[in-house]
Structures are given as structure tokens and as C-alpha cells.
Amino acid sequence: MHSALVLNASYEPLSVVSSRRATCLVLAQKAEVLEDDGIVLRSESFNIVQPSVIRLRYMVKVPYVRRSSMSRRGIFARDEHRCQYCGGHADSIDHVFPRSRGGPHTWENVAAACTPCNRTKRDRTPEEAGMELVRPCRVPRSTSWIVVSVSSMPVCFSASSSFHIKFFSVWSGWLGFREPAARFHARAIPDDATAQIWVNHVAGPALVLGSTQRDPSMIDVDECARRGIDIVRRRSGGGAVLLTPSEVTWFDVIIPSGAPGWAQDVHAPMVWLGERFAAACHGAGVTQAVTVNDNSMVRTEWSTLICFDGIGPGEVLLDGRKLLGISQRRTRTALRLQCCWYHQVDPAALVALFPALDGIDPAALSPIATLPTQISDDILQRLCSS
């Protein structure tokens, strides 16, 4: 039988139920479908696609925190089936401080390992064996019970071998989406929002405009159509951002009123986030100079048109070049900081979309910093725990 993940109204995971139960909740209008597995259920009068992830339309209060017991399966899931010493495929587990010398059998002392590394290390500590852990062993977050408590995972859970599942990234502590930019921007901040990070693996290219960029003649619509680029307008200010799948990491930070990072001053939460992002970059091994703009907006000739040509409060620079762009939306109960950074960027591809930039050498725009895709998850994990 297929399974489905049930999320609270705040997008926090509640349980894994049968697809039949999930379908009944949807038909009763108690939940909405966020992802489906493509299987069509047919009746005499209508058809419905079988859900794999649903979100309740009402908030369920959870008075306790689920905790997963440690297991071999859980260790492999936490470490993504990768050896924590060499990065290869893991087929065994290792006690970092050997059990023969009193090491505990706990989440913090057990790592996934391959057989060659396990044999090399033997009953020694990593330091004694001249080895180093890829990352520290940590207790999984409270949502890890989703992985280790069910034997048949929802279809969306198996979308990626690295356990960055199609909808919810259990081990990383963030909510992960894979959808068009317009749909992601349209997601409402829940009234009972908790502090969260939403990551969208953008499903298709999109040109995201600021809320004040309303003149249709500013964009070459025909060129966007030719290249299959959706035109989307966000509800926050600033210039345009070109999002291309696999070339950008896009994440939003939800901060409820009164939570750490919240402030009445519009600029303060952005600086707060920029400082934590910079610290996460350092922790992930970024060696270049990472700085945060804690002053007012730095404008250029084209910054009202192109987001990454100016530098706003809280935005992060890498060796003097803009790395992280931040914009902000607010409701009565929470704020949403919308952020992105590039893994690779082609300024000419962006220039070609704006008639006002016709004839402009792309090199005349402010240079944009990039970070490799490989460290994106590490930065997000550190940001979640900061």
C-alpha cells in the first residue's frame, strides 16, 4: 500500500498515513494536496490523483516531540549512505571513539563508514588513525521519525538518493520544494507560523521582478517566451532576479513575530540573517572574505532594474562581490526573508531580457560572486542550526 506524508497547517510534519486515508482527508476538504504520485483514482463521477504529501487546512497542536531511537538504518539515513571518512558508499557503521575503549553507542559517537575505512581505523580514534570526519555526528532533528518509523516510504521520499526528498528534507531541517517560481512565491505564511527555512529547487527558468517593476515594456517578453522563461512578480521590492534550475540556491526564512531575528525595524532582520549566513559560509569551509552590508542600500546605475547590481542591508559579499540577495515580506504574525545565491551566472543571459540594457557590455554590471553546489547543503544545515 502506498503512503502519504501529512503536514500541519504550518508545514511541519505530523505523520505518515495510507494514501487511502490521505485521499479521504482531501475529499472531506480537511487537507490540500501538495504533491501526488501520478496514480489516478477513478470513481463513477470523478477522478482524483493519489496524494503523496498533504497539508491540513487547520492547525493541530502537538503537545510532545517525537524522538527516533538510534538504529543502523537511522545512521545510514542521517549520513546519506556516505562514508563519513572518505565520502564513498557506506556499508557499515563505526564508533568514532571505539567501544572497546568505553565509547558510547549514541548518535554522537556513531558514523556510517565503508569497510576499507572501518578496517583502517580499527579500534583507534580518527586522530590516532590520521583520519577526519566529513562532518560531526549529531542527533537527528525531531522530524527524523518519518524516515526511521515506516518501512514503506511515500513515493516523494525516493525522488533523490541523497535523501533530499521531493518535498520535505527530513535530515536537513528545512522544508524543501520543487515547483515553479510563481507557485512558490504564492505560498502564504501560515498564521501560526514557526521559525522555518523553505528551500525551492526551482522547476523551470523564471525572471522574478520586484513589486514595483510594473512597466511591461521594461522586459523583452518575446525573448522570455523564446527561452521558456516565466515572468513572475514577487511581493517585495528590489530589482529583477533570473532563476535557472541547478544554477541557484533559493531559500526563504520564516520568522514569527517575537522570535529571534524579528524586529520592527525593516533592516534589522536582514542584517541578522546576513550575519548568520556569513558564519555558515565560514563553517562550511569558504576561505574568501565574507562580509555583510550592515549599512543602507548601495545603489548603482542599474540597481533599480537588476537586483544583484546593488547591495541592500544584510546582503552578503564574497571578496567584495555580491553573493546573497535578500528581500522581505511581512504579515501581522511573521516576516519572510526571500534569499538566493548563484552557483554559476551568465550576466549576458540577463542583459538580453531588458531592452534598456541593449548595447550594454555585461561586464559593465557589478560582478556577482558564486559558490559551488557541493557546499549548498552544508551552508543550509548550518543556517538551520544557528
Q: Which residues pair with 47 in a beta bridge?
A: 42
Annotate 147-192 with three-state secondary structure. Answer: HHCCCCCCHHHHCCCCCCCCCEECCCCEEEECCCHHHHHHCCCCCC
Indicate whether 45 belongs to any domain. Answer: yes
Indicate whether 284 belongs to any domain. Answer: yes
Whether 365 and 263 map to the same domain: the answer is yes
Domain that holds residue 79: 72-129
- Reported as type and span, the H/E element at residue 274 is helix 267-283
**According to the model, what pLDDT value does residue 165 have?**
35
Cβ neighbours around 44 below 10 Å, total: 4
Q: Tell me the CA end-to-end span of the chain in Å, nearest whole number.
A: 39
Which domain CATH number covers 77? 1.10.30.50
How many domains does the chain contain in total?
Answer: 3
**According to the model, what pLDDT value does residue 328 have?**
93
Residue 124 corresponds to which cell in the numbers above? Answer: 583507534
Cβ neighbours around 385 below 10 Å, total: 12
Q: Strand, helix or coil at 4?
A: strand
**According to the model, what pLDDT value does residue 19 have?**
87
> What CA–CA distance (Å, rounded) separates 249 from 246?
8
**According to the model, what pLDDT value does residue 141 have?**
58
Whether 276 and 255 map to the same domain: the answer is yes
> What CA–CA distance (Å, rounded) separates 225 from 153?
38
Whether 40 and 76 map to the same domain: the answer is no
**According to the model, what pLDDT value does residue 275 have?**
96
Cβ neighbours around 4 below 10 Å, total: 29
**According to the model, what pLDDT value does residue 151 have?**
36
| Ranges under pLDDT 50 in the chain | 145, 147-172
Structure confidence by residue, pLDDT tens digits, 209-248: 988 888 889 999 999 999 999 999 888 878 999 999 989 9
- Interaxial angle between packed helices 376-385 and 267-283, expressed in degrees from 0 to 180 and rounded to the nearest 10: 120
Indicate whether 301 belongs to any domain. Answer: yes
Whether 290 and 359 map to the same domain: the answer is yes
> What CA–CA distance (Å, rounded) separates 383 from 375?
12
How many angstroms separate the Cα of 139 from the Cα of each of 107, 276, 285?
A: 5, 22, 22
pTM of the predicted structure, to 2 decimals: 0.62
**According to the model, what pLDDT value does residue 208 have?**
94
Whether 185 and 94 map to the same domain: the answer is no
Indicate whether 142 belongs to any domain. Answer: no
**According to the model, what pLDDT value does residue 156 have?**
39
How many alpha carbons lie under 13 Å from residue 157 in its C-beta half-sphere? 19
Whether 225 and 368 map to the same domain: the answer is yes
Whether 194 and 288 map to the same domain: the answer is yes
**According to the model, what pLDDT value does residue 66 have?**
55
